[in-house]
Structure 1
Amino acid sequence: MRLLIISDIFGLTPAFLAFAELFEQAHQVHCLSPYPDSPPEFNNDTQAYEYFLSSCGHEQYQQQILSFLKQHQGVDTIIAFSAGASALWQVSAHNELSSVKNIISFYPSQIRNQLTSTPRVPTHLIFPISEPHFSVDAVLEQLAGRVGVSVEKTNFYHGFMNAQSRHFDSYAYQQFSQKIVAQLSAL
């Protein structure tokens, strides 16, 4: 199986790459970052987001993902985080995902502004317990019953899978990592 893992605003950090290593024995893994080079080390989520906006931004990240998928046909599954998950939501409405069978997206907060998009691939969206700029429950309500979209609301905060985020939760990281490894092994 060919697996694409799309990073959040922190890029390809050692922790992100360690997550990708969980899948490397059983899958051919590709990692995608919004940055062509290694970003600086960030002191906090706000600093990382400001750097993301100034050096890439949401639309450019969408184009990077789309370009990658056009060049690397045969990706079966995509796992995406935060800004990467939000960008993927827009890309998932395109035909270029014809080989993709499964998308797993963690805390794609920007999709609140893109709820008219419809992914062409079965997509599982994993949301945090709350978000500071919008009601998670209202977004979940709008996504309820959408064909090909399943949603999950966790008890954790945005960034719980990222060791560099202030909301990192090691328990949640372990639980979701094990769940995804098992899920992909069953495919």
Structure 2
Amino acid sequence: MNIILVSDVFGKTPALEKLGEELNTTVIVDPYDSKNMDFKNEAEAYSYFMDKVGLDKYLSKLLEISTSISLDTTLIGFSVGASVIWKLSANPLVKNISCGICYYGSQIRNFKEVNPLFEVELIFPKMETHFDVLQLQSDLCKKENVKTSKVDYLHGFMNSDSTNYNKVAYLEQLNYLLLKLQGQNTNQL
């Protein structure tokens, strides 16, 4: 099984590469062609991403990669990476994605009309400043192929470059992912 990480606005960072190693990731997709951007903070990273890349361009990049794979693949995304996985999930051209695991994809709120064609697990933070997490969960959990949950941490808790990074949460979710991925591999034997 392939595992592809889809980065947040920080792009490919040493911390994300470390997570990739822990999960035995095949590829890391990021908006900046693997260039280390070395952003000073989230505001700078978000501003650069929106000005220079944007969700549609990032989605096109992930679509190109997703349609070229031939093995069963799980996508794991963070923030804007989670949002592009969500948008990708409705594309009938994507054939070999078995599952998307999406952490704190806040832009998903703008694409509630998406109906995923593969299993998507949405893991939301305990709160977001721009929308009601519980309401979004309620709207999305009724959809086929969608599972939602809310954790007791803030947006960015998996990224050590984020002000909301939480080591305990990171380790909890790392263990969760390892068990989930191991279960998927076992189911395919």
Q: How well do the aligned residues superpose, as a CA RMSD in angstroms?
A: 1.2
TM-superposition CA deviations, 1:29-81 (whole Å, max 9, x none): 11100112414211211111011112211111111110111222324211111
Selected match of 1:169 from 166, 174, 177? 166
Selected match of 1:159 from 152, 156, 159? 156
1:70 is aligned to 2:58:
no
Which shifted more, 106-115 or 138-147?
138-147
What is aligned with 1:117?
Answer: 114
| 3-state SS in 1 of match to 2:66 | helix
TM-superposition CA deviations, 1:145-180 (whole Å, max 9, x none): 211100001110000000000000000000000110
- Residues 66-105 of structure 1: matches in 2 within 5 Å? 66-105=63-102
CA shift, 1:17, in A, is 0.3
User: Distance in 1 between the 2:2 and 2:54 partners?
Assistant: 26
What is aligned with 1:21?
Answer: 21
Amino acid of the structure 2 residue aligned with 1:122: E
| 3-state SS in 1 of match to 2:26 | strand
Instruction: Confirm or deny: 8 A CA contact 1:81 1:105 kept in the other structure.
Output: yes
* Aligned pairs, number: 184
What is aligned with 2:145?
Answer: 148
| 3-state SS in 1 of match to 2:121 | strand
Distance 1:30 1:37, change over 3 A: closer
CA shift, 1:144, in A, is 2.4
What is aligned with 1:9?
Answer: 9
- Runs of at least 4 residues off by over 2 Å: 71-75
Instruction: Confirm or deny: 8 A CA contact 2:98 2:119 kept in the other structure.
Output: yes
Amino acid of the structure 2 residue aligned with 1:131: E
1:56 is aligned to 2:77:
no
Q: TM-score, normalised by structure 2?
A: 0.93
Amino acid of the structure 2 residue aligned with 1:178: N
CA shift, 1:126, in A, is 0.2
TM-superposition CA deviations, 1:63-113 (whole Å, max 9, x none): 111011122232421111100110111111012332111111000110101
What is aligned with 2:39?
Answer: 42
User: Distance in 1 between the 2:123 and 2:30 partners?
Assistant: 20
Instruction: Confirm or deny: 8 A CA contact 1:69 1:75 kept in the other structure.
Output: no
